[in-house]
Amino acid sequence: MGVKTVDDGAAFEHPLYRTLLSVPGLTVATTALDQVLTWGMSNALWVFPMATSCCGIEFMATAASRVDIDRMGTIVRATPRQADVMVVAGTITVKMASRVKKLWDQMPEPKWCIAMGSCAISGDFYRNLYSVVPGVDTFLPVDVYVPGCPPSPEALMHGFLRLQEKIRKSRKGETVTPETNSELLRVTRPSIPRMVDHERTPEMDRAQIESADIATEVEVTPAVHASLAPEPTELASNISGPDLPAVLTELGIAATGELGPPLVPARRHLEVASRLKSRGYRQLVSVVATHWVPGTARKGKVPDEPEHFEVSYLLRTVGAGSRVATWAVRLAPGEPVASLFQLFAGADWQEREQYDLVGVMFADHPDLRRLMMPENYDRHPLRRDLPANLPYAPWR
């Protein structure tokens, strides 16, 4: 279609511009040059793979033998400075998003972006999760969307071919029309037969479905809930051995809590941990905080108990014949619990995580900052009162 006419170039009002356009043959030469440059640009797309999940594996398959994107001159560069295309392959979390944006900004112009897979396109079934960006086009200018979960290597290859087409057409001022569904179906149909179990009959399928134990909707009242839940096993008390009860007796603590770990008063909790450590429990396996609000059903809990937090701890001895000890602390909203950091260095990140996600305060923790969520996040996402579909700037 050639170079644009003089009228289209009205934005360039440099005096030389019109003079140059009047030189005979110059437009032909520049058009030819532009075509050569476009040919080079579209045939050497170096990729910066922003691979965070399973789509990354399919991306690797695309670079490997069967599909081999190197055929069209596409190689993978480890640094964004030398890349032309960023392939976002996988779920991008809110915290990751700022890093992705930074890497994108480090890529030299001209650059393109391919959103590979449902998560990169829309967030897919993680879309309403508190930590996930609902589609990278909320902060990146995506050129090509490659649908699939994950897309097949053939589909990604097709995405690259469409990107080449887009580069060629946009340099000429043309636009690319999105594909219709039938075109997509034609392209992404697998070119090799899938593995099929020829022995299997439709009757076998039906029989399997009928015999499956399919859960039905039940209105959960406390009574129903108690009947549905499995009987509590004796496992916890068996493997924990006599140490925890002995420690509690030593300290004169009467533990409460009928089921699950014994409840220890928050102000005595550090003493319990310290005594257990001196008895050989040297590893803090986990710190788990749970938020309870009226209405949350659980076996052994009255559904309309007032709002509270329960932080449970799990310690184990190191070496053969390992024993575990587990206890819990019940906290009112806003009430802090003593940090175990002085006893177990491993409590550092575990307590930070619980602070970040549930909002339990750990007194005397040396570095109580957020661990998972962005530093400027203003909520605790695993609290039960977190609204679904939370509007969260700037991604939503």
Using CB under 8 A, list all residues that contact another protein. 36-37, 39-41, 43-44, 46, 64-65, 68, 70-73, 75, 77-79, 81-82, 84, 106, 108-110
Measured between alpha carbons, how far is 115 from 67 in angstroms, rounded to an integer? 19
- Could you tell me the smallest distance in angstroms from the CB atom of residue 36 to another protein? 7
Q: Give me the phi and psi of 17, to 5 degrees please.
A: -60, -50
Measured between alpha carbons, how far is 236 from 246 in angstroms, rounded to an integer? 16
Q: Which residues contact 21 (CB under 8 A, 6 or more apart)?
A: 6, 9, 27
Q: Residues 145, 171: contact at Cβ < 8 Å? A: no
Measured between alpha carbons, how far is 278 from 358 in angstroms, rounded to an integer? 30
Question: Is 72 or 288 the residue whose CB approaches another protein more closely?
Answer: 72
Question: Is 111 or 365 the residue whose CB approaches another protein more closely?
Answer: 111
Cis status, amide bond into 110, omega within 30 of 0:
yes
- Could you tell me the smallest distance in angstroms from the CB atom of residue 109 to another protein? 4
Cis status, amide bond into 150, omega within 30 of 0:
yes
Question: Is 98 or 106 the residue whose CB approaches another protein more closely?
Answer: 106
- Could you tell me the smallest distance in angstroms from the CB atom of residue 88 to another protein? 18
Question: Is 49 or 150 the residue whose CB approaches another protein more closely?
Answer: 49
Question: Is 34 or 307 the residue whose CB approaches another protein more closely?
Answer: 34
- Could you tell me the smallest distance in angstroms from the CB atom of residue 236 to another protein? 43
Classify residue 312 by its DSSP letter: E
Number of neighbours of residue 205 by Cβ within 10 angstroms: 10
- Could you tell me the smallest distance in angstroms from the CB atom of residue 63 to another protein? 9
